[in-house]
Amino acid sequence: MALRISQNVFGETLTVYWFGARIEVSGLWSVDSQHVSLSATESQTAAWAAAAVACVDEVSAASAEFSPEMRRFYRRRQWRWRRTRYEKAKAAYLSRIRAAAAAYSPIRKAIEERLAQAEAVRREKARRAYEEQERRLAEARARFAAWQERQAVADRPLLGGLTPRELADRGEDPPAWPREVRDAVGDVESWWAEVVAWARNERALTTSVRKVVSAITATAAALEAAGRPGVTAVKDKPWEVRRGWWIDFDWTDLPSSEPLCTPPDAPVGHLLAGDWDYDRYRPRRILLTPSVLDKYELATVTSESIANGLATRYRWWTRDIEAFAEGIFPIRLTYRQRYHYSGDLRLRLPRHADPAVYIPYVQAVAERAAATFTALAPGQE
């Protein structure tokens, strides 16, 4: 490691490479320094260090001799004889500086040649590393494109007009797979098993969402028919007062959802480091409230930061019955990049979840949510 120091002497730049302890200079030697990495033998380093010491000592001595004359000149520059004396001192100073620079020039050129060689090696190494990184990135993108193509085949119509996913939803097996399907998916049997599992998960999800929607709708109708018994005015943190019924949920003893966190086989090598996450919205409390035209919606308190973080504003976040019913089930699977805020990979969880885990879980959530809403208006048929 060396310290590159430079001085501008009346428009001329003198550069020295300093080795060893921290340099202490005085006079007109103003240091503009930068550390450089330099590999050399001990004898080369010793020779270069000695040449640097000789050059710095000579420049410092010349500066110490010239500085008083320069200060006197700037105090009495209007005197003609002082200018003449100053110009002679300046010429002598520059002569010593140039002589020191000329004596040090072979050492400086040798060091800078060595630095240029090291920089060329570093650039070549960086270029090869970049090309290797680009090659791996291209391969990762190609793997992801092939994976996407394999997924997309399930939604492409076959000769009969139906897609493979629609066939799986009907419980039918195609008599024979076209060649383009076999070429796109590779192992047809494993791919078809995935499509069938996907269809089972989607059927279970649709049935569960419909069950929750029916329970909420029936409860709302029963409350309307009974004249809205027990409705209260709710004043929470938002300024707006809403009328409705608080619904408290108990989500304990549900089947474990941890296996749903298992990452799918989606290749994500083309993305930055990140983590898989899936929807786990299970509200503890929500307000069932009438809206316009005798419709009902679900509301909860949410907040946002305002005034550059100096204050918090609260408001009611409302959703219709269908949106709420769909939101309590795990539907989206997201690969979130840790150091990037765009380009996350979003997948549909039923497409990749194990039916043995997903179906019991969504059924249990639907049963618990439906029972909670139905308990608000008992005696429903």
Domain-located, residue 96 = yes
For residue 115, the tally of other CB atoms under 10 A from its CB is 17
| Residues in a beta bridge with 278 | 333
* pLDDT recorded at residue 81: 65
Domain-located, residue 152 = no
* pLDDT recorded at residue 29: 47
Domain-located, residue 304 = yes
Helix (H) or strand (E) holding 14: strand 12-18
Helix (H) or strand (E) holding 244: strand 242-248
Domain-located, residue 182 = no
pTM of the model: 0.72
Overall number of domains in the chain: 2
Distance CA 112, CA 152 (A): 58
Per-residue pLDDT of the chain (381 residues; tens, 9 = 90+): 788 888 777 877 888 888 876 665 544 445 566 777 777 788 888 888 889 888 888 888 888 888 887 777 777 655 666 778 888 888 888 888 889 989 999 998 988 898 899 889 999 999 999 999 999 999 999 999 999 898 999 999 888 788 989 999 888 887 788 888 888 888 889 999 999 999 999 999 999 999 999 999 999 999 988 888 888 888 888 888 889 999 999 999 998 888 887 778 888 888 888 888 887 788 899 999 998 777 899 999 888 888 887 888 888 889 999 999 999 999 988 888 888 777 788 889 999 999 999 999 999 999 999 999 999 987 665
Domain-located, residue 188 = no
Distance CA 120, CA 113 (A): 10
* pLDDT recorded at residue 67: 82
Residue 81, judged by CB atoms within 10 A of its CB (0-12, 13-18, 19+), counts as exposed
Q: Answer whether 317's CB lies under 8 Å from 299's CB.
A: yes
* pLDDT recorded at residue 79: 64
Structure tokens at 67: 């500085």
Residue 362 and residue 253 share a domain = yes
Distance CA 374, CA 149 (A): 44
- The domain boundary, picked from 132, 159, 184, lies at 132
Residue 209 and residue 90 share a domain = no
Residue for token pair 């909420």 = 216
For residue 124, the tally of other CB atoms under 10 A from its CB is 10
- The domain boundary, picked from 101, 132, 163, lies at 132
Query: Residue 249: CB partners within 8 Å, gap ≥ 6?
Result: 282, 283, 284, 285, 286, 368, 369, 372
| Structural domain containing residue 284 | 197-374
Domain-located, residue 153 = no
- The domain boundary, picked from 95, 110, 132, lies at 132
Residue 256 and residue 128 share a domain = no
* pLDDT recorded at residue 33: 66
Domain-located, residue 251 = yes
Domain-located, residue 173 = no
